[in-house]
Structure 1
Amino acid sequence: MTKEQYRVLAINPGSTSTKASIFENDAEVWKTNVVHAPEELAGFETIGDQGPFRRDAILAAIDEAGLDAQNFDAVVGVGGVGLAGVPYGTYGVNETMLDDATSGKYASHPNNLGVIIAHEIAATCGAQAMAAGMASSEEFQEVAHVGGFAQTPRRCCVHMLNTKEVALRHAAAQGKSYKDLNLVIAHVGGGITVAAHRKGMVVDGTDGVDQEGPMTPNRPGTVRLVSFMKLIAGLTPAEQKKLVSTQGGFMSHLGTSDALEVKRMIAEGDEYARLVYDALLYQVAGWIGHMAAVLKGEVDGVILTGGLMNDEYAAAYITEMVSWIAPVSVYPGELEGEALAAAALRVLRGEEELLEYTGVPVWSGFDHLKRA
């Protein structure tokens, strides 16, 4: 390999699978999605304990493909929601980051394992360990942080990795810079978030972890609070967490979180399944309108992305509701592996600085505004 050609391994853990891709410069030469059976993951007491298991699964998949698992210039993992709310960018993995990811200091989620696995694989081959696509990155305008209770400030927790990459590519296709555009971007997949991007910054957005925004295939999204209090009365904290994390949305209404199964039900004439499916899309469109208001109506484009946008019906339903705001562009699926590799390559090529993770959030509350 010469300095004109770089080899990058991208790691992206999810709730029940771990995705990995190998890139030689911008070309993806191999990818896998290792699915972990529920009974395998159930044997681990904490999410952090899953690290070695998932790492070894990826290394085994690379070996089975007959590929070299040692010759990497960089190993890049997705920056999980358990990291501090730092500015968006590409970071070197350091001890502070590993401590935060392992402890789940800010949030516990399987994507915290991305930087841990990247660090461990990089250490075996002398590669740089990086974190990119920080889900916890903080770009909100201050007014967007104010929640309905003083104790519940809103936070920036959208699908940063995919939506930022889609925004960059969309802008380039328009012959413009992402930093010149105002966009509303909805990531509509297994998880759903809607965000307002103003001149390259996510200034407001729904929270994909704390259940704000549209319902998803297995999460409730924003719900009527008093009714919800009655619903969870008598449940243990663990039962409450399971309810809001896995038992909402399609799962609550239809007994499945599989969108393809819901589409099958609709095809067989299930009118309630159609209503619930449409309701999810209806809610996404409503939140797009909300974010258009955040941008004061100055919207250059609405972007729909994520796995559910592979369904032409779903994309058309939302488009019909929001096309009055701005032109709608659809980018089905996700570009997460590509986004991780692109971030690492920009650093390797000297186009972008590798940032240092301090573990100190850039936004920490409103104390500076309060009178003594």
Structure 2
Amino acid sequence: MNNKTFRVLAINPGATSTKNGIFANETCIAESTIRHDYQELAACGSIKNQKRLRTELVLKFVKEAGVELASLDAVVGRGGIIKPLESGTYAINDKMLADLSIEPATIHASSLAGIIAREIGDSLGIPSYIVDPVTVDELCPQARLTGIKGIERQTIFHALNSKAVARRVCKEIGRKYEESRLVVAHMGGGVSVGAHLEGRVVDVNTAAAGEGPFSPERSGGVPLFPIIEMCYSGTYSKAEMMDLVVKKSGMQMHIGTTDLRKAEAMIADGDSYAALVVETMAYMVAKEIGAMCAVLSGRVDGIILTGGLAYSTLFTNYIKARVERLATVYMCPGEDELLALAEGALAVLRKETAVKEY
């Protein structure tokens, strides 16, 4: 067993923040969430042009943490919207760097993670990686085909956290992830529920494409005919329809908030419609879990509830009441993505798994 202490810098950019962590093996020795001023980001002109600003702030974080750059063994970044690939830890090679620099990757700040990680890694002569990007695609053929020829399902989901919590639960219960059958429900601003079969996510709803349960801000699956009518009504542009499905529907459209804590307060004050909306959202998550249990032929080693909504006892109790007879339910609230990134890098540094080439 490798007893060396490895130091890893993990970088996770979001739309208005950059989260950073420095790890000594699995222990986080420094962590920061850098909040970016909207006007400062807008002045960059594009997400791609934010690289210099964010890189300088990441390096400032490392310096203020009192960590010598020369002590780092690797830099790991959140994967952006790149081509579909299998789960794993990938070296940031020139091809990936090129793909992170063009659309569709450049529409989201997560693409900057790989670019910044590669730049810092190269300057220090150490490896740079990404781990389980949102485009992890391990669908079985039956999950890919649809009823309209020429339209196939592809996955964009919370792969990083879903895979990480699955591995952690397996470790806790003495199983190998690669030999387990699990259903993982990541529940946040979007909800993705995946069937994990022997280390591969063979089916999962793509929340950003309008599949699965509705969430605090996304529509989930809705009847197609009314959507088609809306598209041709002349009232909405294509961009407005996309925003409606991904950002402006779900719980907030019903009761005016994306915050489940506020929804619970409304319920406590006697708002019966808020109660119906929250219970229905949980009902839909439970129904999707049931569907993924069917994907696994009903043989399920565990159901994992994770993401921000998993902190809510009210919400998770609704779900557990419907699914706990299917398999043991494990609670992993929140999403520790910095640790998940570090774990992916550490597995390669320790030679527990092979690094993959993009």
Partner of 2:99: helix, strand, or coil? helix
CA contact (8 A) 1:187 1:304 kept: yes
- The within-5 A match list for 1:270-349 is 270-349=271-350
Partner of 1:169: helix, strand, or coil? helix
Residue 128 (structure 2) aligns with: 129
Alpha-carbon distance in 2 for matches of 1:169, 1:100 = 31
2:247 corresponds to 1:267: no
Partner of 1:5: helix, strand, or coil? coil
Alpha-carbon distance in 2 for matches of 1:250, 1:121 = 41
Residue 170 (structure 2) aligns with: 171
AA matched with 1:242: D
AA matched with 1:181: S
AA matched with 2:23: F
AA matched with 2:153: R
How far the C-alpha of 1:321 sits from its partner, in A, is: 0.9
CA contact (8 A) 2:209 2:246 kept: no
Alpha-carbon distance in 2 for matches of 1:5, 1:355 = 23
- The within-5 A match list for 1:132-281 is 132-232=131-231, 233-234=233-234, 235-281=236-282
Partner of 2:30: helix, strand, or coil? strand
Between 1:273-282 and 1:252-261, the stretch displaced more is 252-261
Aligned residues: 355
Partner of 1:314: helix, strand, or coil? helix
AA matched with 2:135: S
Residue 59 (structure 1) aligns with: 59
How far the C-alpha of 1:218 sits from its partner, in A, is: 1.1
Partner of 1:140: helix, strand, or coil? coil
Relative distance call for 1:111 and 1:209 in structure 2 (3 A) is: farther
Partner of 1:356: helix, strand, or coil? coil
CA contact (8 A) 2:82 2:100 kept: yes
Alpha-carbon distance in 2 for matches of 1:247, 1:206 = 19
Residue 361 (structure 1) aligns with: none
CA contact (8 A) 1:182 1:197 kept: yes
TM value normalised by structure 2: 0.92
Relative distance call for 1:18 and 1:148 in structure 2 (3 A) is: farther
AA matched with 2:228: M
Superposition misfits of 4+ residues, deviation over 6 angstroms? none
Partner of 1:52: helix, strand, or coil? helix
Alpha-carbon distance in 2 for matches of 1:243, 1:307 = 22
Q: Supply the RMSD in Å over aligned alpha carbons.
A: 2.1
CA contact (8 A) 1:171 1:177 kept: yes
Stretches of structure 2 lacking an aligned partner (at least 5 in a row): none
AA matched with 1:110: A
Alpha-carbon distance in 2 for matches of 1:42, 1:113 = 16
AA matched with 1:77: G
How far the C-alpha of 1:259 sits from its partner, in A, is: 2.4
* Identity within the alignment, %: 40
Stretches of structure 1 lacking an aligned partner (at least 5 in a row): 358-372
Residue 115 (structure 1) aligns with: 114
Residue 16 (structure 2) aligns with: 16
Partner of 1:32: helix, strand, or coil? strand
Residue 360 (structure 1) aligns with: none
AA matched with 1:34: I
CA contact (8 A) 2:157 2:207 kept: yes
Alpha-carbon distance in 1 for matches of 2:76, 2:265 = 38
AA matched with 1:51: K
Alpha-carbon distance in 1 for matches of 2:212, 2:8 = 35
Alpha-carbon distance in 1 for matches of 2:36, 2:281 = 28
CA contact (8 A) 1:71 1:125 kept: no
Residue 367 (structure 1) aligns with: none
1:192-211 alpha-carbon deviations (Å, 9 max, x no partner): 10000111111000013222
Alpha-carbon distance in 1 for matches of 2:299, 2:95 = 40
How far the C-alpha of 1:14 sits from its partner, in A, is: 2.5
Partner of 1:103: helix, strand, or coil? coil
Alpha-carbon distance in 2 for matches of 1:37, 1:268 = 36
AA matched with 1:6: F
Alpha-carbon distance in 1 for matches of 2:43, 2:227 = 31
How far the C-alpha of 1:15 sits from its partner, in A, is: 3.2
Relative distance call for 1:262 and 1:209 in structure 2 (3 A) is: same
- The within-5 A match list for 1:349-364 is 349-357=350-358
